[in-house]
């Protein structure tokens, strides 16, 4: 019969549009609409049996799988509830059978049969052999069924056998208002277990009508195609309505006609918006967030098994999967699923992306940790899938370091994708496709999907948004559209893929092409000449509270993270020394390297962008603290083992049995400082300062670069440090500094000695003084302040700009209860002096601080303990500085970054809380003041005041975030000249070192080598990943300068040295000079890695 489109009789577009919407709605008129026809035949499952362990909150990892033993099943019924939160429950049908057994009625021959399950939670369906088949979830309607048969054939048998594992949590955990702390006693009701016949014709018409409706709703009313879509949808409904008045055969004819009209509509070719949306399926799974890590493992299995089932049905479906850690979990716990993943990866349809171990935080990890993410991630992808990723895939994190482009190039990555910058609170980022230039000038091609999400559903609305938000129109012809349910897992659905088929080339919309990331990147590379450039960091104008949010009960995640990063590198230095000296056998080295890799994997997992920032539930934070502590225990044991090898096989004084103290200096410069030692002190020679009531003492040492050396006689500083009390304040003085501390623990003066009489005046107009004042007259440094900290929504994530308006100074007689400052017993010189003071903070908290000055030290240190029990308060320390400074400088990965101290523009004003690592500094020509810290990352610089954020107290998603006892250190460092000349970079490394020592008998001295230039830092010395006769050295230029002919001297029998990538792939052999050294040149902030082979 001839098909002719008939327009509606009336001209009311709203009623026509809403008529289509009501025909497909899930909420109304289900007795007559298409949604109500999806399942017309059902067969309930009436006999259910259940088992769960007696210890309900036991981790699923410890629960035996029911197919491995004879479980004590008990009967249950639909409507029963199960819990509590995080518990696991197993189900089956028919008490006499070991699995869920369902029988398909014979009369359902030729039908598509679904097993439908709704437990109000997440679940995973297994075969009778224990193979994971598909995830199930109540969060989304189209994830509540499993396709048992696309075309039921009774001759193949009626019975299907399954296990169902129910997890007592939703896709987003178990908290209220999404980010609330979880309800630990929540239960989940079993609502549905039944077989249903799925009506594919009704479903197809639903999808047709949905797209037509959305074209009418979201596309331009001036486009004739928009009207055509509405008219076509209306005509299809008229056909269906006519069919209902006739016989069953006639109805089928009208349905066929309706389907044909739909096919004709979607066959129309687009004259084109000229843009293509490359649809890439994905399933962003947070490695932990509102659920613990162990639940993420199951989320991966649920989500990826679902994607595998869709790949079997849709040949053009492509799924991108990041995070090597998650793939390794699946390999370990679901090997059969991993083999399916391998199969589809070989076909190019299951595509590993990102190259990293996890999607880490983009600000806080060290530069070396960033490289390890890619080193371990890319090695996993290469080993398991035969290729390396070409892009860095980080759709969700809280800002992006200015050094990321160079790090990516150093590990062989060319491209970068994220979407989080669309969350900016103040300024809209101006590009979606651009060239990102990093701190050193390295560039990568970057893309932000214009629909501003990674959870598109392939709807018309998504495509309209994509074109509306596309900021580079005319510069590029394609964009990525990331689709699939994410965060809590799930991924793409059949509905999304059906939409994609219909949206391939509709007029007025961008073309939709399901594709692989490689296709997009190759196209973007061709258009690179058209793209704009963004230089420097990608600062996210939101979530800047994550620089500070930590954890409760002495579990400061960020400080533990920094300690673990450093301790792993320290052990690697010792192993490198053993390799260079040929003092370790292959088997021992292989074992120790394997243990180190395990330690790095734990740290890298904890650097996931909701763990390290402190934005997860309490369970995640507690487990992260335990993991960090395991790493510190591991590195402590490995360090002792390595030192034992050095002691047994290394040089020692002949016949020397006297006690000496062993120090390790993994830094590439001479270190002279006061250290704290323990042991049998009567054997110690030289100047010492004993600590009362202990077997510990302060000593002054000089340690060679990159060395392990024993000291049996300690040195004397250039001058002793002194302490006195005059006029109500304490005066602390050494050869470099003179500090005055008032009765409130504030610095009323901090002077640094001039290097020569010709130096500039002291900052207060007194050119004759030998001291330069760092604290402005009438202001106070070490000023602790309390702020109200109530964000708009994202509690653990956000600090809002208006918090600065709620400043309350604490130590200064402003109503705070103060303890009288006093000199610390046993700390009166000649090596260390200290003053201690205390005060009440807020309503419930207490602070105790020890201010100390060591002999010859260039900085004054504050060791602070806070018993913190506030609610929505933030604690900061302020340092007014006697400088005129328009930009403050902050330590970041492999370099430093300058940011404004003013709010001239909206971009400047948005940076009221920024991320820095070990130090921050404000200076003018010839003079400046820095602040060091041992685990803080949040900073503010306004005018001449540099503030360090110390503690927060959010209540969601962890109600106990930051509660408990905290200990942290910071220091103020005034200096002449530039901060580079003053050595603030080197001192910040020393400030973060664990200068522990051990007692040995005899003497010992080993060194790995030397670096000739003070601005070039040897960041890492590590065993090579492959082989036992090679190691890797990683250096970077730290001053921001071009340097030539930097000599790196090596020890031992060196066979060859080559420049290599961060993945330890050799790039170019270097000339080895006769004195066992090589020469390098650096551009500002450049990273070089060296691959050294021992003969």
Which sequence positions are flagged as catalytic?
Answer: 396
Question: Both ends of the chain: CA-CA distance in Å?
Answer: 86
Tell me the backbone φ, ψ of residue 157, rounded to 5 degrees. Answer: 105, 155
Q: For 1-37, give one letter per residue: b (16+ CB within 10 A) or e.
A: eeeeeeeeeeeebeebbebbbbbbbeeeeeeebbbeb
Q: Are 1089 and 1064 in contact (CB under 8 A)?
A: yes
Q: What are phi and psi of 687, to 5 degrees?
A: -70, 125
- Cα three-residue angle 1076-1080-1084, rounded to 5 degrees: 150
Alpha helices in 151-223 (DSSP H): 200-218
- According to DSSP H, which parts of 438-489 are helical? 460-469
Query: In whole angstroms, how far apart are CA 673 and each of 683, 704, 737, 755?
Result: 21, 12, 15, 20
Dihedral Cα 654, 659, 663, 669, nearest 10 deg? -60
Q: How many CB atoms lie within 10 A of CB 755?
A: 11
**From residue 382, how far is each of 368, 376, 378, 389, 582 by CA, in Å?**
21, 10, 6, 9, 30
Task: Give percent helix, percent strand, percent coil of the chain, each to the nearest 5.
Answer: 25, 30, 40
Q: How far is CA 868 from CA 611, 841, 863, 872, in A?
A: 21, 8, 16, 12
Structure tokens at 688: 């010492």
Strand, helix or coil for residue 260: helix
List, as own/partner pairs, every contact residues 106-109 make where C-beta atoms lie below 8 angstroms and the sequence separation is at least 24, other chains included: 106/154, 106/158, 108/41, 108/152, 108/197, 109/152, 109/153, 109/154
Report the alpha-carbon distance of residue 1037 to residue 439 in Å, rounded: 12
Q: Which of 360, 294, 295 is nearest to 322 (CA)?
A: 360
Distances (CA, A) of 18 to 23, 208, 230, 506, 752: 9, 15, 10, 22, 76
CA distances to 342, 879, 931 from 337, in Å? 9, 56, 51
Decide: 668 and 1033 in contact? Cβ < 8 Å.
Answer: no
Phi, psi (degrees; rounded to nearest 5) at 205: -65, -35
- Of the candidates 1050, 910, 1057, 980, which has an alpha carbon nearest to the alpha carbon of residue 427? 910
Say how far apart CA 511 and CA 500 lie, in whole Å. 10
The β-bridge relationship of strands 159-167 and 443-447 is unpaired
Counting every residue, how long is the chain?
Answer: 1095
Q: Structure tokens of 60?
A: 């699923």
Q: Which of 277, 403, 385, 276 is nearest to 330 (CA)?
A: 385
DSSP reduced 3-state for 677: strand
* Structure-token pair, residue 829: 């010189």
d(CA 863, CA 848) in angstroms, rounded, equals: 8
Residue 1077 CB contacts under 8 Å (≥ 6 apart), including other chains: 1047, 1048, 1049, 1050
């Amino acid at each position: 019969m001839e098909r002719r489109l008939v327009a509606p009789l009336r001209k009311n577009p709203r009623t026509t549009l809403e008529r289509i919407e009501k025909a497909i709605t899930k909420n109304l008129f289900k007795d007559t609409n298409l949604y109500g026809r999806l399942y017309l035949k059902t067969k309930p499952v009436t006999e259910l049996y259940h088992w769960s362990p007696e210890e309900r909150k036991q981790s699923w990892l410890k629960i035996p799988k029911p197919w491995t033993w004879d479980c004590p099943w008990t009967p249950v019924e639909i409507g029963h509830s199960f819990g509590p939160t995080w518990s696991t429950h197993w189900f089956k049908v028919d008490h006499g059978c070991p699995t869920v057994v369902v029988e398909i009625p014979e009369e359902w021959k030729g039908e598509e049969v679904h097993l439908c399950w709704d437990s109000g939670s997440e679940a995973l369906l297994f075969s009778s052999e224990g193979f994971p088949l598909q995830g199930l979830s109540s969060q989304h309607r189209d994830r509540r069924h499993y396709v048992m048969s696309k075309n039921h054939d009774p001759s193949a048998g009626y019975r299907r056998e399954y296990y169902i594992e129910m997890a007592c949590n939703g896709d987003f955990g178990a908290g209220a208002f999404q980010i609330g702390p979880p309800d630990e006693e929540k239960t989940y009701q079993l609502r549905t277990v039944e077989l249903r016949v799925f009506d594919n014709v009704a479903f197809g018409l639903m999808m047709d009508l949905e797209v037509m409706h959305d074209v009418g709703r979201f596309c331009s009313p001036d486009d004739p195609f928009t009207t055509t879509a509405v008219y076509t949808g209306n005509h299809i409904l008229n056909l269906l309505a006519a069919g209902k008045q006739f016989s069953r055969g006639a109805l089928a004819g009208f349905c066929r006609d309706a389907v044909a009209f739909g096919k004709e509509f979607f066959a129309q070719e687009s004259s084109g918006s000229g843009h293509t949306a490359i649809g890439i399926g994905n399933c962003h799974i947070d490695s932990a967030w509102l659920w613990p890590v162990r639940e993420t493992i199951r989320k991966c299995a649920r989500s990826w098994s679902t994607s595998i089932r869709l790949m079997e049905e849709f040949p053009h479906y492509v799924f991108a999967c990041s995070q090597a850690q998650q793939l390794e979990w699946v390999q370990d716990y679901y090997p059969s699923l991993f083999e399916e993943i391998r199969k589809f990866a070989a076909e190019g349809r299951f595509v590993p992306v990102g190259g990293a171990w996890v999607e880490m935080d983009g600000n806080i990890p060290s530069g070396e940790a960033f490289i390890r993410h890619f080193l371990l991630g890319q090695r996993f992808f290469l080993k398991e899938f035969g290729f390396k990723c070409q892009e860095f895939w980080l759709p969700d994190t809280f800002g992006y370091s200015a050094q990321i482009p160079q790090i990516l190039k150093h590990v062989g990555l060319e491209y970068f994708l994220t979407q989080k910058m669309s969350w900016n609170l103040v300024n809209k980022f101006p590009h979606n496709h651009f060239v990102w230039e990093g701190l050193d000038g390295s560039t990568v091609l970057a893309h932000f999907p214009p629909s501003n999400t990674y959870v598109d559903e392939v709807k018309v609305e998504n495509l309209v948004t994509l074109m509306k938000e596309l900021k580079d129109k005319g510069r590029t012809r394609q964009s990525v559209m990331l689709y699939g349910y994410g965060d809590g897992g799930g991924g793409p659905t059949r509905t999304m893929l059906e939409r994609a088929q219909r949206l391939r080339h509709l007029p007025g919309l961008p073309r939709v092409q399901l594709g692989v990331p490689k296709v997009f990147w190759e196209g973007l590379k061709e258009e690179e000449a058209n793209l704009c450039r963004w230089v420097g960091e990608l600062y996210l104008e939101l979530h800047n509270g994550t620089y500070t949010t930590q954890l409760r009960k002495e579990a400061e995640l960020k400080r533990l993270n920094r300690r673990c990063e450093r301790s792993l590198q320290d052990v690697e230095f010792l192993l490198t020394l053993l390799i260079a000296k040929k003092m370790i056998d292959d088997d021992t080295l292989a074992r120790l390297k394997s243990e180190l890799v395990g330690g790095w994997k734990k740290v890298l997992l904890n650097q996931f962008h909701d763990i390290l920032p402190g934005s997860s539930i309490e369970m995640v934070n507690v487990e992260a603290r335990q993991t960090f502590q395991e790493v510190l225990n591991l590195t402590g044991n490995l360090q002792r083992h390595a030192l034992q090898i050095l002691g047994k096989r290394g040089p020692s004084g002949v016949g020397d049995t006297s006690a000496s103290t062993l120090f390790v200096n993994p830094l590439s410069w001479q270190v002279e400082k006061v250290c704290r030692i323990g042991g049998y002190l009567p054997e110690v020679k030289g100047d010492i300062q004993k600590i009362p009531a202990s077997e510990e003492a302060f000593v002054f040492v000089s340690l060679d670069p990159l060395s392990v050396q024993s000291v049996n006689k300690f040195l004397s500083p250039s001058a002793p440090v002194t302490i006195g009390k005059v006029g109500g304040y304490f005066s602390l003085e050494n050869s470099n500094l003179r500090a005055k501390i008032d009765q409130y623990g504030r610095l009323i003066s901090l002077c640094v000695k001039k290097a020569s009489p010709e130096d500039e005046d002291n900052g207060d107009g007194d050119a004759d003084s030998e001291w330069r004042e760092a604290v402005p007259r009438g202001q106070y440094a070490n000023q602790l302040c309390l702020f109200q900290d109530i964000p708009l929504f994202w509690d653990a994530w956000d600090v809002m700009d208006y918090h600065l308006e709620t400043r309350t100074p604490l130590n200064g007689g402003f109503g705070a209860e103060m303890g009288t400052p006093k000199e610390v017993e046993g700390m009166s010189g000649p090596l260390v002096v200290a003053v201690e003071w205390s005060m009440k903070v807020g309503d419930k908290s207490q602070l105790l601080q020890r201010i100390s000055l060591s002999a010859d030290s260039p900085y004054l240190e504050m060791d602070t303990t806070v018993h913190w029990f506030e609610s929505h308060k933030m604690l900061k320390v302020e340092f007014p500085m006697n400088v005129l400074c328009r930009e403050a400088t902050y330590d970041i990965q492999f370099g430093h970054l300058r940011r404004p101290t003013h709010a001239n523009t909206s971009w400047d004003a948005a940076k009221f809380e920024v991320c820095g690592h070990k130090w921050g500094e404000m200076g003018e020509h010839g003079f400046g003041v820095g602040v060091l810290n041992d685990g803080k990352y949040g900073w503010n610089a306004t005018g001449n005041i540099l503030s360090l954020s110390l503690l927060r107290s959010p209540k969601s998603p962890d109600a106990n975030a930051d509660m408990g006892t905290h200990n942290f250190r910071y220091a103020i460092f005034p200096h002449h000249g530039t901060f580079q000349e003053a050595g603030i970079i080197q001192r910040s490394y020393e400030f973060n070192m664990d200068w522990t020592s051990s007692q040995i008998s005899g003497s010992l001295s080993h060194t790995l080598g030397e670096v000739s230039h003070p601005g070039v830092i040897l960041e890492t010395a590590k065993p090579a990943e492959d082989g036992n006769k090679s190691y890797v050295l990683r250096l970077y230029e730290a001053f921001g300068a071009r340097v030539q002919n930097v000599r790196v001297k090596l020890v031992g029998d060196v066979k060859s040295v080559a420049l290599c990538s961060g993945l330890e792939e050799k790039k170019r052999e270097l000339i080895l000079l006769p004195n066992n050294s090589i020469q390098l040149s650096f551009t500002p902030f450049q990273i070089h890695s060296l691959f050294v082979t021992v003969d």
